[in-house]
Amino acid sequence: MMLITMDGCYLIDRSFNFRRVQMRFPCRGSNDGLAEKTHHYTLLDGEMIIDTLPDSQKQERRYLIYDMIAINHVPVIERPFYERWKMLEKEVIEPRNQERHNTYQSRNPYYRYDLEPFRVRRKDFWLLSTVTKLLNEFIKKLSHDADGLIFQGWDDPYVPRTHEGLLKWKYPEMNSVDFLFEIDDDRQSLFLNERGKKRLMEGSRVAFRDGSDPLLYSGKIIECSWDLNEQEWVYMRTRTDKSTPNDVNTYKKVMRSIKDNITQDILLNEIYEIIRLPMYADRIKNDSKAHHHFGAARRR
């Protein structure tokens, strides 16, 4: 999350560590010069990604905002998602872009946006009817990794913690579990989290197919995918952003997803059926904002 105040801008991780970053967020509606007002107590929800620029192969950090919880002291969690998403662009992104554009053109800028630690933009969401195009074209062109799709209710309020109405579809081979990995005398142990305690996964092993030494990962949270053919866990990456493994219940859900094996074709057929429903067609026609918008899913 990102908390913007007059006194500074803070990134907040899942363990509630605050980290101050040098960013500027002017408010909308000021004249062309320096915005008299900047955001104060605006709280955003988003994710940090690393884009590899196609031309130079240079890597660049970007913060993608996908939701807003409060703007200038005012909570917006009860408003429908589409309103919050529109406000993000109008109140947070546009004033910033406008001011940045103006300062670039001035000979003696009062603020150097190019020195900020990362770029900021709003995460894109699309109508359900564009899913085929997204899967076939857009995801391939993305300059960062995506492991599936997120389906977000167009009218939903902001729901903290686990939102049961938010659907996530992953490519079957991307379904993964975060374990705590420990190794002792060549004996591997994989742990999950159960009511705040470590729970050992009996008889589970993980294959490090990149040839690296398992000892390097002892005590770390590792993300693993399940290889159906080999019937084994395969190391994907180390989760430096997490301090605890997945919960047992999360593990059960992931195992169910793996068993369900919902492929891209199954997904597209289901969506095709939904789009043909009269209530969906009417909704699009009526207010040109459809019931479900969604974005390319990041690894969460």
pLDDT tens profile 51-107: 988 888 899 999 999 999 999 999 999 999 999 999 999 999 999 999 999 888 888
| pLDDT (0 to 100) of residue 294 | 55
CB proximity list for 170: less than 8 A, separation 6 or greater: 147, 148, 257, 297
pLDDT digits (tens, 9 = 90+) for 96-137: 999 999 888 888 888 999 999 999 999 999 988 888 888 888
For the chain, percent of residues with pLDDT exceeding 90? 61
Contact (Cβ atoms closer than 8 angstroms) between residue 1 and residue 46: yes
Q: Please state, in angstroms and as integers, the Cα–Cα distance from residue 258 to each residue in 173, 176, 207, 227, 275, following that order.
A: 8, 9, 18, 10, 26
Whether 32 has a pLDDT exceeding 90, the answer reads: no
Beta bridge partners of 74: 71
Residue type, 267: L
Name the helix (H) or strand (E) containing 250.
helix 248-260
Whether 238 has a pLDDT exceeding 50, the answer reads: yes
For the ranges 29-38, 256-265, 287-296, the lowest mean pLDDT is seen at: 287-296
Q: What is the mean pLDDT of the chain?
A: 89
| pLDDT (0 to 100) of residue 219 | 96
Q: How confident is the model at residue 290 (pLDDT cuts 50, 70, 90)?
A: very low
| pLDDT (0 to 100) of residue 228 | 83
Whether 237 has a pLDDT exceeding 70, the answer reads: yes
Q: How confident is the model at residue 298 (pLDDT cuts 50, 70, 90)?
A: low
Beta bridge partners of 2: 11, 44
Distance CA 88, CA 94 (A): 9
Name the one residue in this structure whose structure tokens are 């060549």.
Answer: 186
Whether 291 has a pLDDT exceeding 50, the answer reads: no
| pLDDT (0 to 100) of residue 300 | 43
CB proximity list for 155: less than 8 A, separation 6 or greater: 80, 81, 82, 291
CB proximity list for 24: less than 8 A, separation 6 or greater: 9, 38, 96, 99, 111, 113, 116
pLDDT digits (tens, 9 = 90+) for 130-145: 888 888 888 888 888 8
Contact (Cβ atoms closer than 8 angstroms) between residue 26 and residue 14: no
Q: For residues 237-249, give the mean pLDDT.
A: 93
Q: How confident is the model at residue 22 (pLDDT cuts 50, 70, 90)?
A: very high
Contact (Cβ atoms closer than 8 angstroms) between residue 96 and residue 130: no
pLDDT digits (tens, 9 = 90+) for 37-52: 999 999 999 999 999 8
Whether 273 has a pLDDT exceeding 50, the answer reads: yes
Whole-prediction pTM: 0.81
For strands 119-122 and 59-71, give the pairing.
Answer: parallel
Distance CA 217, CA 40 (A): 42
